[in-house]
Structure formats: C-alpha cells, structure tokens
Amino acid sequence: MPVSHRMDDLTRSRLLLVLCGICWGINWPLIRIGITGLSPWTYRLTVFVVGTAILMSVVILTGRPLMEPRGRTWAHLFASSMLNVAAFGIFSTFAMLTASTSRVAVVSYSFPVWTCLLAWLVLGEKLRGGAVLGLALCLGGLAILVYPVIDSSAMIGLGLSLCSALAWAVGTIYLKLVRIHGDMLVNTAWQLAMATAAMLVLTLTFQGWPTFEPAPAIALAAAVLNGLFGSALAYLLWYHIIGHLPATTASLGSLMSPAVGVVSAVLILNEWPSAADVVGFTLIFAAAVSAILQPRSRTPAAPALDPDIRR
C-alpha cells in the first residue's frame, strides 16, 4: 500500500478516535439528564436495549454469522459482559445519584491504574515505574476528591464510580487470561445483548416492570441518544479503530472521554468543578496516562470488548 494511502488511513482512524471519545464523553451528561426523569434501572435498561438492537442489526445487515461464538466462548463472553458492560454501566449510572457528573466520569476512567495493579497481583507482570507513579497519582487524586465530601452522600457516588473502574479492570484481566477470539463486532453485540438480559432481570427484581410515565421527553431522548452514540456508534467506531491504530494510541485517545465529560457537564448541565476537583481530575488523568504509557508485555491479547477503553 502506498505511503500516502497508509497515512490517509491513519489520519482517518485518528479522526474517528476523536469522534469515538466525543461519543463516549457526552454520555456522562446524558446519564444525568436521563435519571432526572427515569429510574436508574429503567434508564440503563433502555440504553442497553437501544445499543443491542443497533449492533445486532449491523451484524445481520453486514452478513456476519450471528451464532459464530462456539463452546466456552459463550461463557467467556458472558463473564466479560457482566464486568465490562453490565457492572460498569450500573455502577456509573447509580453513582450519578449522589456525585457530580464530572467526578463520576473521571474516577470511572481510573481503570488503567487498577488494571496495572491487578496485572501485577494476578498475572505476575512487573509493576514498572509508570504503574507505580500512576498508582501514587491516582491515590492522591482520589484523596483530594474524597476529602471535601467525606461526610456527605457524595461518598457513595465516588465509591460506586470506583467500583465501575474496578469492574472494568477485573474484566480486562479476565480477557487477558482467556483471550476470546472471533469477530469483535459479533462478540461485542452479544455482550451488549447479555448485559441487556441481565439488566432486565435486575430491573424486574429490584424495581418491577420498567416505567416510562410520567417521564419527560428529554429523559427518554437522553436514554435513546446514549444507546445510539455510547452503546452502538462508539463501538462501531472502536471496531474500526483498533484495527488501524496501535493499542497505546487508542488507549490514550480513550482518555478524551472523561475530558469531554467534564467540559460537557459544564456546557450542558452548568456543573462547574471546584479548584480541588480540577487538581484531583488532573492527578487521575496523569495517573491513567502513566499507566498506559508504561512498557507492556509483548504477548498479544485478543479482546472481545476492548479492555483498555470505556463507554
């Protein structure tokens, strides 16, 4: 392939990565808007249903075999779905009930740091300087965010945000251990479908049948847009990106999401972070960058839903 064509491919992929980060980033204020009129259970279920319907439609329309996964792959997809999709989505949504949008977005994206720590504990990977620095920066950032709200209900939201980050980190380690193969788009569609089924069971258990009245139209629109952009379009973009960009570049690009989340929370919700928030955000962002940029093992992993990026 001529160099000029290759550069065009790289440029296009980088632009799509920017668009992907924007899609995931604007979902944070959409969650806030959605749960003002819908229960967290109904909101998250709606998002998953929309995302699943779109991705399954794309799989069918592109002629991919819908039942491609075989044998143990189904069990691995289910485990990954519960960690990387269902748990992350549930924890981050409920975190919004008591914590600010920007805090939830930033703390949830501390997962690269926890992934490095778990890789050391579980996989025996060396805890290199970048990971140690990242862990120190992350703990410092969390301390700055926690101190002002330590006696308030916002602590619950921060705790749930941290749980979402840890769920993604555990899911990452799981994917490294099992290395799920197959068509990534098909695998991702099934993971969203499994998360939707689990979410329906949880909703019926803890809330009852989903209710949409008297939900304002803007809340319903937020749920649909989140499903369209965050659970469907962003993964379609990511499906293309991971085949054209190095993993480190793609992972660093994923950090656009919390940055866009903070900015969009200011512009859309008029949620202005305090000076302490800005310092905490900066430390956690720097921690994630340090973790991503540390030297990694050369053994490739074949993720079904990329372990180094989140919606």
**Cβ contacts of residue 269 below 8 Å, gap of 6+?**
29, 32, 33, 101
301 pLDDT higher than 50: no
Mean pLDDT of the chain: 85
5 pLDDT higher than 80: no
80 pLDDT higher than 70: yes
For residue 8, the model assigns a pLDDT of 67
For residue 159, the model assigns a pLDDT of 94
For residue 206, the model assigns a pLDDT of 95
Of 91, 85, 48, 95, nearest in space to 223 by CA: 48
Q: What is the pLDDT of residues 201-242, one digit of tens each?
A: 999 999 999 888 777 899 999 999 999 998 888 888 877 776
For residue 62, the model assigns a pLDDT of 92
Report CA dihedral (241, 247, 252, 255) to the nearest 10 degrees: 60
For residue 3, the model assigns a pLDDT of 46
What mean pLDDT is predicted for residues 75-91?
94
Dig out the tokens for 191 from the structure. 């993971």
For residue 162, the model assigns a pLDDT of 94
Q: Is residue 311 part of a domain?
A: no
- Domain that includes residue 204, residue range: 3-293
For residue 34, the model assigns a pLDDT of 94
User: 113-122, 152-161, 248-257, 265-274: which range is least confident on average?
Assistant: 248-257
Q: Is residue 303 part of a domain?
A: no
For residue 59, the model assigns a pLDDT of 93
Q: Is residue 308 part of a domain?
A: no
Q: What is the pLDDT of residues 145-189, one digit of tens each?
A: 988 888 788 899 999 999 999 998 898 889 888 888 888 889 999
Q: Is residue 127 part of a domain?
A: yes
User: 9-18, 240-249, 259-268: which range is least confident on average?
Assistant: 240-249
Q: Is residue 253 part of a domain?
A: yes
Q: Is residue 302 part of a domain?
A: no
Q: Is residue 306 part of a domain?
A: no
Q: What is the pLDDT of residues 126-151, one digit of tens each?
A: 777 777 888 899 889 999 998 888 87
**What does pTM read for this prediction?**
0.86
- Domain count along the chain: 1
For residue 299, the model assigns a pLDDT of 44
For residue 192, the model assigns a pLDDT of 94
pLDDT band at 250 (very low <50, low <70, confident <90, very high): low
For residue 20, the model assigns a pLDDT of 85
For residue 251, the model assigns a pLDDT of 67
Question: Chain centroid to CA 31: how far?
Answer: 13
Quick check: 161 and 103 in contact, CB under 8 A? Answer: yes
Q: What percent of the chain has pLDDT over 90?
A: 47
Q: Is residue 300 part of a domain?
A: no
